[in-house]
Amino acid sequence: MKLLFIGDIVGQPGRRAVRDLLPELRERHHLDFVVANGENSAGGSGITPKTAAEIFSAGVDVITSGDHLWDQKEVMELLANEKRFLRPLNYPLGTPGQGGAVFQARKGTAVGVMNAQGRTFMPALENPFTLAANEVKKLRAQTKIIFVDFHAEATSEKIAFARMLDGQVSAVVGTHTHVQTADEQIFPGGTAYLTDAGFTGPHESVLGREIAPVIQRFLTNMPQRFDVAKERVILHGAVVDIDETTGRASAIERVQSPWLPAV
């Protein structure tokens, strides 16, 4: 089967790119399942039921998140009612929502998806390294095809987490930095890896935000309003080819698809 992961969707430009580009990507890559990180989909920070509905209607099967999970108060509705929405698994016991679940691909194949968050240079959470084993075991009881979105800052933490899970999951792809890396590979145990998928949104920007206010913040250290930029919109992500019988990945390919406005 072929799974597409879409890197952090930033604001309205990112949502529009997913809506317009996903049909062509589905046809070109013969996609069976689509996962997207949506934690920046609402105005560039957080996610709401409305922006999640727009992403789902575009053809995304599962939405993952990260450290901007709580930026919009409406997220509580998603956590309570939307099973296709995942939060990082390493929140304390009793936190609303779920960090992993099994879903059905278009051909009926069961696909496990797990979301975890790193701790280096990130908000304090429980240790994802110690919690991952139980979550993977739970998912593997239902399917060998497991995709992991590891939302983390430090490259070393992402690599170590993926190396720990090599042979137990189909793929580990990082998010959070918004900069697509060029280190896609298949580990010896059959796990596909990419340090960061990049982001889906305006790239004539600073990580999706207007350039001038960010520069001003660095110059003055004074608060600024970081509006979502608008130009050079690109969908970033990765396509993973997975053996349905073994759950091992056979290939991973980075995706960079420009969105072109209608003339």
Q: Token digits for 73?
A: 């108060």
pLDDT at 107: 84
Q: What is the pTM of this model?
A: 0.96
Q: Token digits for 158?
A: 């992402």
Residue 195 near residue 158 (C-beta atoms within 8 A)? yes
Q: Provide the number of structural domains found in the chain.
A: 1
Domain that holds residue 9: 2-203+232-258
What's the CATH number where 238 sits? 3.60.21.10
Residue 151 near residue 174 (C-beta atoms within 8 A)? yes
Q: Token digits for 95?
A: 């936190």
User: Would you say residue 74 lies in a domain?
Assistant: yes
- From 195, 193, 160, 161, select the one nearest 175 (Cα to Cα): 195
User: Would you say residue 208 lies in a domain?
Assistant: no
User: Would you say residue 122 lies in a domain?
Assistant: yes
Dist. CA 77–CA 49, nearest whole Å: 7
User: Would you say residue 181 lies in a domain?
Assistant: yes
pLDDT at 136: 98
Residue 258 near residue 25 (C-beta atoms within 8 A)? no
Q: Which of 29, 68, 178, 236 is catalytic?
A: 68
- Residue 187 DSSP label: -
CB-based burial label for 20 (10 Å; 0-12, 13-18, 19+): middle
Q: Specify whether 68 is catalytic.
A: yes
Torsion of CA 1, 151, 127, 142, to 10 degrees: -20
pLDDT tens, the chain, 263 aa long: 999 999 999 999 999 999 999 999 999 999 999 999 999 999 999 999 999 999 999 999 999 999 999 999 999 999 999 999 999 999 999 999 999 999 999 889 999 999 999 999 999 999 999 999 999 999 999 999 999 999 999 999 999 999 999 999 999 999 999 999 999 999 999 999 999 999 999 999 999 999 999 999 999 999 999 999 999 999 999 999 999 999 999 999 999 999 987 65
- From 204, 175, 170, select the one nearest 189 (Cα to Cα): 170
DSSP assignment of 77-109 equals: HHHHH-TTB---TTSPTT-SS-SEEEEE-TTS-
Q: Token digits for 11?
A: 């604001």
User: Would you say residue 136 lies in a domain?
Assistant: yes
pLDDT at 93: 93
* CA distances, 140 to each of 93, 127, 162, 208, 209 (Å): 21, 21, 16, 36, 39
Q: Token digits for 195?
A: 């340090």
Which residues, other chains included, contact 127 with Cβ-Cβ below 8 Å and sequence gap of 6+?
90, 119
User: Would you say residue 103 lies in a domain?
Assistant: yes
User: Would you say residue 263 lies in a domain?
Assistant: no
Helix axes 49-57, 11-29, angle to 10 degrees: 20
Q: Token digits for 84?
A: 């296709």
User: Would you say residue 213 lies in a domain?
Assistant: no
